[in-house]
C-alpha cells in the first residue's frame, strides 16, 4: 500500500487563509467600491470575538474591522471589487468587507471566466508534455521534476495564483451578507503575517489548482501536490474563522484522473494554520467532502500554533481534522461523522505528531459501520491527546486507549497544559450531532 505523506507543499466567527506567491492584480485602482446593499440587515459585521472564546480571545483579543470608518466598510459582489477592498489604503486601516453572493476567483478584471487553458497560454505547458517528460520510466523516482516542462508548469501556476490568491491584511473582517449564499468559488484567502482578522459566514468551494506538481519522492510511490488552500494562515495572529462552510463541490476528488498510478490531486487544504501562526479560534464551521482538511504546523520545527477548534462539523473528511504539530490545540464540542460521502472515505480524524499537545473535550464521533474507534486517531509516537467526555455513537470512549491497543507508536494521554479559554463548553457531547446540524456552517447567521 502506498505511503501517504504529511509534507506541506506549495461565537464563532473567524477564518483565515494564506498561501505563497500572491501577485498584484493589475488595473483595479479605478474600480469604484460597491455601495452598501444590506443596510437594513442585522449588523453582524461589527461583532468581535467574545472574551474567553478560545485562543484568539487571548491578550488583545480579536476585533477584526470593528473600528472601520464608512470609507472602509463596503459591500462587494465581484473579484475585482473584493481585491480593491482588500488593498484599499492606508495599510492596516480597519476594514469591513461584506461579500454579497458568490464571487468567482477565476475571472479576469472584467469578470470574464478564466479556464486552466487561459492560465497555460503562452507558458509552453501542456499536461501531455509534462507527463511524457516526468514519466517515472523515463525520469526515475529519485529526484523532483526540473527542466523546461516543470518551469512551464510553475509559470502557468503563477498566473493562476495571481487570480485566486487574495491577501487579507490586519484589522479586517470579511463576512458574507446573510441571505445571499455568500462565498468564494475557487479562491484562496491568504492571511500572512497579519494580525486581528475575522472571516465569517462564507462558503469556500472548489479551490482548485490547475497545475499540480508531480513529486516521485513524496511517499513510497510519489504524489501529485496542489498549491492552494481555501484559507491559509501563515505567521498570522488573532484570527477568528466562524460559521463558514468548506467543500470541494461541485468538483469532487472522485472525478480526478490517475497518472503514474497516483491520483491527480487538484485540491490542497481547506483551512491550514502554519508558519508560527498563533492565537486562532475556529468555531461553528462545516468541513465537508475534502481530503487534506486542516494542517496545524507546516513542519516538525514550526512554533507557537495555539489553536482552538470548537463546535465544528466534519463530514466526508478523509484526514487532517486536524493534523497537529508542535502546538497547544484545544478541541471541544466538535462533531465528526465518518460516513463515506461523495466518494470521500475516512482514514483518520485527528493526528497528533511532532510533540503536539492536544486537549479534546466532549467531542462526538458518529462512527460508520466500516470504521472502528481505534481508527479515529493517528500519530508518530510523540504527540499527546488528553481526552475527556468524548463519545462514539453516544457512548463515552477512551480514544487513546483504543488507538494504542493496536498501534506500536503510542499517543500520550496527558498534555502539558490546561485550557482556560473555553467559552460555551457543553458538559456533554450527546446532543452535538443534532444541534450542530442546525447551527454550524455558512448561511446560519442572520
Cell of 79: 473579484
Q: Which of 163, 286, 320, 325 is catalytic?
A: 320
- Residue 200, helix vs strand vs coil: strand
How far apart are alpha carbons 424 and 332 in whole angstroms?
Answer: 9
Decide if 67 contacts 318 (C-beta within 8 A).
Answer: no
The count of other CB atoms within 10 Å of the CB of residue 53 is: 26
Query: Using an 8 Å Cβ cutoff, are 232 and 269 in contact?
Result: yes
Measured in whole angstroms, the distance separating CA 229 from the mean position of its chain's CA atoms is 6
Among all chains, which residue has been given the C-alpha cell 486507549? 401
- With beta carbons less than 8 A apart as the criterion, state whether 178 and 42 touch: yes
Q: Return the C-alpha cell found at 125.
A: 505547458
Q: Residue 263 class from Cβ within 10 Å (0-12 exposed, 13-18 middle, 19+ buried)? A: middle
Check: CB of residue 190 under 8 Å from CB of residue 235: no
Q: At what angle do helices 127-134 and 148-164 cross, to 10 degrees?
A: 140
CB atoms within 10 A of CB 80: 19
Active site residue 87: no
Nearest to 365 by CA among 386, 345, 341, 349: 349
At 190 the three-state DSSP class reads: strand
Sorted by sequence, the CB contacts under 8 Å of residue 30 that are 6+ apart come out as none
Active site residue ranges: 320
Amino acid at each position: 500500500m502506498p505511503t501517504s505523506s504529511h509534507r506541506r507543499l506549495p461565537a464563532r466567527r473567524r477564518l483565515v487563509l494564506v498561501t505563497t506567491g500572491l501577485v498584484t492584480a493589475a488595473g483595479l485602482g479605478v474600480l469604484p467600491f460597491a455601495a452598501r446593499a444590506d443596510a437594513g440587515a442585522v449588523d453582524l459585521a461589527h461583532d468581535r470575538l467574545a472574551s474567553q472564546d478560545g485562543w484568539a480571545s487571548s491578550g488583545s483579543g480579536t476585533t477584526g474591522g470593528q473600528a472601520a470608518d464608512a470609507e472602509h466598510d463596503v459591500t462587494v459582489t465581484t473579484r475585482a471589487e473584493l481585491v480593491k477592498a482588500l488593498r484599499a489604503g492606508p495599510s492596516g486601516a480597519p476594514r469591513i468587507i461584506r461579500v454579497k453572493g458568490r464571487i468567482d476567483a477565476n475571472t479576469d478584471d472584467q469578470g470574464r471566466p478564466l479556464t486552466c487553458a487561459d492560465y497555460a497560454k503562452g507558458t509552453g505547458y501542456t499536461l501531455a508534455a509534462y507527463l511524457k517528460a516526468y514519466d517515472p520510466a523515463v525520469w526515475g523516482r529519485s529526484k523532483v521534476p526540473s527542466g523546461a516542462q516543470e518551469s512551464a508548469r510553475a509559470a502557468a501556476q503563477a498566473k493562476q495564483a495571481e487570480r485566486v490568491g487574495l491577501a487579507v491584511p490586519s484589522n479586517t473582517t470579511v463576512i458574507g451578507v446573510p441571505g445571499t449564499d455568500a462565498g468564494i468559488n475557487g479562491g484562496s484567502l491568504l492571511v500572512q503575517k497579519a494580525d486581528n482578522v475575522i472571516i465569517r459566514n462564507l462558503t469556500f468551494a472548489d479551490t482548485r489548482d490547475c497545475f499540480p506538481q508531480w513529486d516521485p519522492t513524496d511517499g513510497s510511490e510519489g504524489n501529485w501536490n496542489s498549491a492552494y488552500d481555501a484559507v491559509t494562515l501563515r505567521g498570522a495572529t488573532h484570527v477568528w474563522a466562524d460559521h463558514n462552510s468548506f467543500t470541494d463541490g461541485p468538483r469532487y476528488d472522485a472525478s480526478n484522473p490517475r497518472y503514474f498510478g497516483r491520483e491527480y490531486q487538484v485540491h490542497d487544504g481547506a483551512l491550514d494554520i502554519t508558519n508560527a501562526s498563533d492565537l486562532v479560534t475556529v468555531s461553528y464551521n462545516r468541513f465537508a467532502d475534502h481530503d487534506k482538511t486542516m494542517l496545524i504546523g507546516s513542519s516538525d520545527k514550526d512554533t507557537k500554533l495555539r489553536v482552538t477548534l470548537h463546535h465544528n462539523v466534519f463530514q466526508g473528511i478523509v484526514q487532517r481534522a486536524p493534523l497537529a504539530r508542535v502546538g497547544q490545540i484545544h478541541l471541544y464540542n466538535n462533531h465528526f461523522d465518518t460516513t463515506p460521502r461523495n466518494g470521500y472515505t475516512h482514514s483518520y480524524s485527528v493526528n497528533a505528531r511532532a510533540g503536539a499537545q492536544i486537549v479534546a473535550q466532549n467531542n462526538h464521533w458518529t462512527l460508520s459501520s466500516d470504521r472502528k474507534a481505534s481508527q479515529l486517531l493517528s500519530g508518530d509516537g510523540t504527540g499527546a491527546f488528553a481526552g475527556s467526555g468524548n463519545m462514539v455513537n453516544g457512548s463515552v470512549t477512551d480514544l487513546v486507549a483504543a488507538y494504542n491497543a493496536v498501534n506500536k507508536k503510542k499517543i500520550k494521554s496527558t498534555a502539558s497544559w490546561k485550557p482556560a479559554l473555553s467559552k460555551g463548553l457543553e458538559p456533554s457531547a450527546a446532543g452535538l450531532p443534532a444541534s450542530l446540524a442546525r447551527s454550524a456552517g455558512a448561511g446560519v447567521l442572520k
